[in-house]
Structure 1
Amino acid sequence: MSPPSQSHTVRPRCPRCGRPVELCLCHLLPNLTPRTEILVIQHPDERRHALNTARLLVAGLSNAHLLIAEQLPPDWVERIADRGWRTELLFPGPQVPLLTAAGQGDRPRRLVLLDGTWRKARKLLYLNPLLQQLSQVALPEGLTSRYRLRKAPATGALSTIEAGTMALQMIEPETDFADLLRPFDALIDGQIRAMGEDIYTRNYRRNEL
């Protein structure tokens, strides 16, 4: 008699940071409350990505939201279209103006980020005409990613958590948002340890030189 087949074991995950419970990063997450609301729209294909930095960004902010969808649900269409908010889309492009600090007395501010590969991010933009109508803003050129396990598709390409942290720092320069990157750095360090120093050096470290 053949032994019973074993079903695939699903590793339990932390509901806050989304990491496997034994690799939870919540102890490194800050609890910051910027004046700016952050909305990250994540392509569904990115949900189970091992390096899900969008979830870490949102988890470190008390007024941030992670929306996993290709198309905006009706309630978010209504919220984003509300003219009582100054809602901007952080997305680079030709002649897109730089992000600026918040002015005193402005409407409450919301910044929308798209999480996915460039192709998937462009698809999110294409499928949601409302996003195309938003004021588009960009980060400065020449920024360097700390994402040592990814070969950037273009110069200045940042992970979602890096882009969100930099954006908040520019909008609210009086606040230090550096703690948002603590779990990100720990995540990268853990991935490097898991793969081994030899493999990391052979495949990635030469890109830092």
Structure 2
Amino acid sequence: MPQGSRPRCKACARPLSHCLCHLIPRLWPDTQLLVIQHPDEASHALNTARLLVAGLVNAHLLVTESLADHPDWVRRLSDSGWRNELLFPGPDARELGVACDTRPRRLILLDGTWRKARKLLYLNPILQSLPQVRLASGLSSRYRLRKVPHADALSTIEAGAEALSLLHPGFERDRLLAPFEALIDGQISAMGEQRYQRNYRDRQ
């Protein structure tokens, strides 16, 4: 451990004094989630993809830029026995919803800035081949510590929670989002209300 660094929880990767594990649920919706995270995001202090996957039994986090390095996942995403869909607001994306297709469903999310998410899509032909779905417009992010590219841009955990809530009525979205809410509140508390108001409030 580098000198001066704080010991961290091995499960949630937060400093031990700010561990979020007691808030992380273990939910098991029928839809499987695969989160493909750009490597630059892996060490980000506000890593919502990690919290999303930790809260779902039926979810996987893959940190990579190229799926060519993960042939097993290329095979899974090519499996016609699964309904694989990419949650990405492309021009041809249709609104996510429940359908009559009885195949097991897997939703793929890209974690990174918009530029990095587009790069992940560009670099991976298997992702380009998947049907794209999007969330309904008009959603508002609770991520109060970033400047969003547009009003309804959501963090990865928020996007996953909204998608699962839509596909599975009664899904416990608030339980999944609880560690995220605590993470944001803790960051705001640490920086102080005045600094938060000065640097972030006007960016929403």
- TM-score w.r.t. the length of structure 1 is 0.91
- How many Å separate the matches in 1 of 2:106 and 2:92? 21
TM-fit CA distance, 1:93: 1.7
Q: Which has the larger radius of gyration?
A: 1
Alignment correspondent of 1:12 = 7
Amino acid at match of 2:78: A
- Matching residue of 1:92: 89
Tell me the equivalent position of 1:140.
136
Aligned residue identity for 1:86: R
Partners of 1:196 and 1:174 in 2: how far apart? 36
Letter of the structure 1 residue corresponding to residue 15 of structure 2: P
The residue type paired with residue 13 of structure 1 is: R
Distance 1:188 1:119 in 2: 23
Distance in 2 of aligned mates of 1:39 and 1:102: 20
Aligned to 1:42: 37
Count of residues paired in the alignment: 201
Contact 1:102–1:172 (8 Å) recurs in 2:
no
User: How much does 1:10 deviate?
Assistant: 4.0
Contact 1:101 1:173 in 2 (8 A): no
Matched, 1:115 2:111: yes
Q: Report the aligned-residue RMSD.
A: 1.4
TM-score (norm 2): 0.94
Q: After the TM superposition, which residues 13-32 of structure 1 pair with which residues of structure 2 at under 5 Å, given as runs? A: 13-32=8-27
Query: How many percent identity over aligned positions?
Result: 65
Distance 2:133 2:174 in 1: 21
Shift of 1:151: 1.1
CA–CA separation in structure 1 for the residues paired with 2:51 and 2:130: 25
Alignment of 1:1-209 (within 5 A): 8-72=3-67, 73-103=70-100, 106-207=102-203
Q: Once structures 1 and 2 are overlaid, which stretch shifts more, 70-79 or 182-191?
A: 70-79
SS at match of 1:39: strand
Q: Per-residue deviation at 1:201?
A: 1.3
What are the ranges of 5 or more consecutive residues in structure 2 without an aligned counterpart? none
| 2:93 and 2:131 in contact (8 A); partners too | no
> 8 Å contact 2:92–2:132 — kept in the other structure?
no
Match of 1:3 in 2: none
In structure 2, do the counterparts of structure 1 residues 207 and 10 end up closer, same or farther at CA, with 3 Å as the change threshold? closer
Alignment partners' CA distance in 2, 1:56 and 1:192:
18
Provide the secondary structure at the position in 2 that maps to 1:65. Answer: strand
User: Match for 1:61: what amino acid?
Assistant: L
Q: Name the SS of the counterpart of 1:166 in structure 2.
A: helix
Runs (5+) with no aligned partner, structure 1: 1-6
